[in-house]
Amino acid sequence: DGHVIGMFIFPSIIALIVGFIGLRYGSDSPESYGLGKAEELFGEEISEEDKETESTDMTKWQIFVEYVLKNKVIWLLCFANIFLYVVRIGIDQWSTVYAFQELKLSKAVAIQGFTLFEAGALVGTLLWGWLSDLANGRRGLVACIALALIIATLGVYQHASNEYIYLASLFALGFLVFGPQLLIGVAAVGFVPKKAIGAADGIKGTFAYLIGDSFAKLGLGMIADGTPVFGLTGWAGTFAALDIAAIGCICLMAIVAVMEERKIRREKKIQQLTVA
């Protein structure tokens, strides 16, 4: 029963104010503030991509074309993000309706499930990033593990026999879904120079919202209302679509994981030769 001003206009005004502050006082890099390069500040190696862009003195447009538009990994991550958004928004958007209509749970329990999904997301975002660091930056591999667990947990969520299983499965799904979402973004950072990170993240997010978000809200609703998917209609068809999206995301992230592994091993060899 909220008012449109409090729900949409007031938050939009706050976002605009913060955006203008960032536009006015923000800058592209630490060098703009006389702090030196990020690698120097944190004692890290300069990436291959950054070395190439610095040695050739490329413009921002050239960097965007060469390292974003022509980058196979970025496009793989874009489409993986589309599939992941179908899963994420599909659960986020329809969990309360599914709980109330299909599982015959109360509205209060349905809303609690939505809250626990977001709580799981908070924990998962922090933990999955840390786990990928323990795996020496293998974001794609860790994302594949989380995605496989998502498929298993979707089955538990779909057939929840009581409110406790429903609530636990939604917390677990929030924990699992937001891990790959974070890791897709972090994986993109590893394949582009610093000057292209914003563009790479922007194009990835644009595809996710325009296609993945739209399908999850409109397409899944149509499936739940009777549009068949592989002969399945209703909620069975909706969950089939979620499973297919998760499998599609796994396939793409598996390719990214292979390319990531090659990059990690190549950088390790270069580091060993430099030390020797």
| Domains defined along the chain, listed by start | 4-44 (no CATH), 66-275 (1.20.1250.20)
Q: Give pLDDT, residue 276.
A: 63
pLDDT band at 267 (very low <50, low <70, confident <90, very high): confident
Please give the pLDDT value at position 95. Answer: 92
Question: Residue 142 corresponds to which tokens in the numbers above?
Answer: 């860790």
Q: Distance between CA atoms of 147 and 144, rounded to whole angstroms?
A: 5
- Which of 32-41, 114-123, 176-185, 221-230 bottoms out in mean pLDDT, i.e. has the lowest? 32-41
C-alpha 152/C-alpha 147 separation (Å) is 9
Percent of the chain with pLDDT over 90: 56
Confidence at residue 250, expressed as pLDDT on a 0 to 100 scale: 97
Residue 121 has pLDDT above 70, yes or no: yes
Q: What is the rounded distance in angstroms from the CA atom of residue 161 to the CA atom of residue 158?
A: 9
Question: If you average pLDDT over residues 105-122, what whole number do you get?
Answer: 93
* pLDDT at residue 16 tops 90: yes
Please say if the pLDDT value at position 1 is more than 60.
Answer: no
Does 158 have pLDDT greater than 90? yes
Q: What is the mean pLDDT of residues 50-56?
A: 71
Q: CB neighbours (10 Å) of residue 94?
A: 20
Per-residue pLDDT, averaged over 240-256, amounts to 96
Over 60: is that where the pLDDT of 81 sits?
Answer: yes
Contact 248, 85 (CB under 8 A): no
pLDDT score of 80:
96
Q: What is the pLDDT of residue 8?
A: 86
Give the integer Cα–Cα distance in Å for 46 and 9: 43
User: Which of the four pLDDT bands, split at 50, 70 and 90, describes residue 50?
Assistant: confident
pLDDT value at 89 more than 90:
yes
The Cα–Cα gap between 169 and 156 comes to 7
Mean pLDDT of 11-37: 84
**pTM reported for the whole predicted model:** 0.84
Cβ proximity of 237 and 224 under 8 Å: yes
pLDDT at 2: 62
Answer with the residue of higher pLDDT: 198 or 119.
119
- Check whether 7 has a pLDDT greater than 90: no
pLDDT digits (tens, 9 = 90+) for 169-198: 999 999 999 999 999 999 998 888 888 888
Q: Pick 67 or 34 by higher pLDDT.
A: 67
How buried is 6 (Cβ within 10 angstroms: 0-12 exposed, 13-18 middle, 19+ buried)?
A: exposed
CA 151 from chain centre, in angstroms, equals: 16
Give the pLDDT band (50/70/90) at residue 63.
Answer: confident
